[in-house]
A and B are shown apart, each in its own frame.
Chain A
Amino acid sequence: MLAQANAQLRLTSIVRAIQLGVVVILFGGWVLITSSHAVNPLFLPGPLAVAGALAHLTVTKAFWGAVGVTAFTTAVAYAIAVTAGIVMGFFIGRSPTLTAAYRPVLAGMFAIPITLFFPLFVVMFGLGPGSKIAFGALYGFFPVVLNTIAGFAGVEPLFLRSARSQGATRIQALRHIFVPGAWPVVLSGLRIGFFITFASVLGGETLSSASGVGHAIAHEADLLDSPPMFAWIVIVLVASVALNLTLSFIEKRAVRS
């Protein structure tokens, strides 16, 4: 047991070292390329310039305003995606007929680049958060609904037969078999859905918007002011990594118990 634990520990540290190595190489490459003036600083400013812009940016009111808009838009869009996805996924996944009918349709729709319809959303819901909410909610809905269907449709029928023979009511079967059985798959759909919603909101803001983080990035790009643009990108990167770590942690905890 101990030898096994040691081997596991060694494997983990090797994996961590490789991951750290990738980060070091990327950052080192950035420093090297920019300090040797191999590329125009207009396209890729050095880390110091970006850090300076970052320090400037985070103390402005406009910064927190943009972050607030994007956070709000993402939260509303995600809430809609999750509610619609889980409710629909539950009803479809419980019925083999509906699953057979709708699963391929929804998977097919998810494969369409919905970004193409974004201009339509702007026409319908305007330049404000409305169009981004609709766009993010629609895109994030698909992974949630597809995983919810997969989760509920994949519940072992023998467990249900056994529970029925023991006299389980519908509510009891739902509570003790359907929900815990479907939960891990639903949860990973929720995680994927979140990042798709987040990316769609940012993308929508970049394409056409009057506010938000995506809008700020596009705005700096229009002004050819690359240090603040990269400062924004660094913020989005850090936020994504932090959110991903948090959600993965929650997912692992929830699935284990």
Chain B
Amino acid sequence: MQADPFQIASDALAGAGGHVSELARPFLHFLPVSGASVSTFGPLLGAETISATDRLAGRVDELQFDLGEGPCWDALGSRLPVLQPDLTASSPSTWPAFTSAIRAENIGAVFAFPLVFGPLDIGAVDLYSIDPVTLTQEQQQQTLELSAIVSRILLRHALKDHALDNAEGSAEPTVFSRRLIHQATGMVLAQLGISAGDAHLILQARSFADGRPMRDVAQDVVERRIRFTDIDADSDSDIPTATDRRTDNRTDGEDSP
């Protein structure tokens, strides 16, 4: 059996361990693109390029942050892939400044995939190609799958850095708060159809985002004041994209009670 490039990429991601600076490279294993970058932005994590395979990939990110427009913003805003397979043929009317800047760099195609985790907005994966190129449905699907793994790694990494009171690791964990957190974890995993580990991560992230102790967030969940609903547009075969869609909402769909 021939080694599947996608499998190699997933394995590479799994092996990246704590090195988030290595998160972009695996995308090059199975996609016909010149470079990739992974960045965080949105309300939860600060705007930052976490990993870029080359200078130009970093530049694509930087331009979008500087200009406040571009495919990565739309991808996260819509939670859908944004595809521009041929910048030489058509001009997306949505990002005039970004388009002219990117043409100056002789880039022929850009793609952006949202990084989301349950209801949380994490950032985006930006891909570019010097020559115009199309991504197949399968390649898009695989990119979405890898993006989900990247989201989880980024979230864990961010929360690990931030030693916010999280009951299990805090200075004064109480058995009562632990129990509340377990119950809330169960509710969240049922709400989102995810694993207990991921549900716990969602609670941690919420506590991080709100700057509140985890037990307070758990209490709100158990008493049904906070609800997490899955707004992820998941689909197996038909991958909707945000291309050519006017997306005015740059502020994204962070859930709020």
The judgment on whether A and B are partners is no
Chain B residues with a Cβ under 8 A of chain A: none
